[in-house]
Structure 1
Amino acid sequence: MKCLRIYATPDGESHFDEVEIPTGKVPVHPEATPFDVTASYPASRVRFTRIPAGMRQVDWHTVPDRVLTVRLDGAVEYETSDGEVRKIAAGEFALVEDTHGKGHLSRHSPDSQLVLWISLPNGLDEPL
């Protein structure tokens, strides 16, 4: 499973990358067809954010800690400091790790959005 990642290099510039999250077939109960399931990752905080309708662009900013953002509805377009732009639609997710440096821009869809933020102290590097 692929996950879009935003990260900062030591010089403070932000960039995109893709992280491969390994999955394995796991049955949820003995008679069920197995599903693709990832390892478990430690999370320190989970929060929901309602982004109001009409909020179009957020200036350059970083995140306070490594977060997996999951778009429950709406969409966002991220721009990194190297000028690359990527769009995340409802149902998609991104690992945002640019905790220092210039940060990234966020351009939101015109409707309100619900976003799930999951703080991952180790990112997707160290499963439980």
Structure 2
Amino acid sequence: MKCLRIYATPDGESHFDEIELPTTKTSVHPDAIQFDVTASYPASRVRLTHIPAGMREVAWHKVPEPVLTVRLDGSVDYETSDGEVRHVPAGSFVLVEDTHGKGHLSRHSPEAQTVIWISLPNGFELPPA
């Protein structure tokens, strides 16, 4: 399963990467068909956020801890400090790990948005694909 990632290098510059979240075919209960499921990952908290309509650009910022964001509606364009821009539509998730350095910019679509933030432990690492 593909996931967009925003991370910072030791010099504090932010960049994009696409990572593969490993999955296995699993039934979630005895009568269900099998489908792709990732491993279980530790989370320290889950927050639901509502971004109001008309909020366009958020200045350069970083996250205090690694966070997996799940965009339920609306869209955002992220820009990293190297100048690359990626469009993230509703239904997408992004692993944001730029906890130091310059951070990234967020340019939100004009409509209101709902985003789930899943905080991950510092030092969190995905298993190799």
Q: TM (normalized to structure 1)? A: 0.95
The equivalences for 1:103-114 within 5 A come to 103-114=103-114
List structure 1 runs of 4+ shifted beyond 4 angstroms: none
Aligned equivalents of 1:43, 1:11: Cα separation in 2: 27
- Secondary structure in 2 aligned to 1:73? coil
CA contact (8 A) 1:22 1:38 kept: yes
Aligned length: 126
1:26-57 CA-to-partner distances (Å, cap 9, x unmatched) read 01222321011000000001001100100000
1:53-111 CA-to-partner distances (Å, cap 9, x unmatched) read 00000010001110000001000000000000001111100000001100000000000
Q: Percent identity?
A: 75
Q: TM (normalized to structure 2)? A: 0.94
Unaligned runs of 5+ in 1: none
Aligned equivalents of 2:125, 2:53: Cα separation in 1: 31
Query: Which residue of the partner structure matches residue 18 of structure 1?
Result: 18
When the two chains are superposed, the root-mean-square deviation of aligned CA atoms in Å is 1.0
CA contact (8 A) 1:58 1:106 kept: yes
